Amino acid sequence: MPGYLYILKCSDDTFYTGSTIDLEKRIAQHNSGLGANYTKKRLPVVLVYQQYFLNIADAFYYEKKIQKWSKAKKLAIINDQWELLPKLSECKNKTHFSNYEDEN
């Protein structure tokens, strides 16, 4: 069964990521307060990204991955700037490298 991955922009400028088999119906549910608890408190919501998948399980898989992403990474895909993802994924915590630097 096909499905969609989607990202909504909430009224407080946060993003909500979800997946569904009926995108139009799901957006209507969110905006009527029948969607997720997260969006109920941040209405209205606006669809800012959608991706079609041949299998809803694939959409759900990517939903769970993207939910953990930073706002910057979500904005990159919303703005069709996929090439920015590797740079935005780099570790910025220098303490992860401290042991290596001490050994050399």
Distances (CA, A) of 36 to 16, 41, 79: 9, 9, 24
**What's the confidence (pLDDT) of residue 104?**
44
CATH top-level class of 1-68? alpha beta
Instruction: Tell me the whole-structure pTM to 2 decimals.
Output: 0.84
What's the confidence (pLDDT) of residue 24? Answer: 97
pLDDT at 38: 95
Three-class DSSP category at 48: strand
Phi first, then psi: give them for residue 21, nearest 5 degrees.
Answer: -95, -20
> What is the location of CATH 3.40.1440.10 in the chain?
1-68
pLDDT of residue 94: 65
Please list the rounded mean pLDDT of every run of 10 residues in the chain (104 residues): 98 97 97 94 97 98 95 95 86 59 47
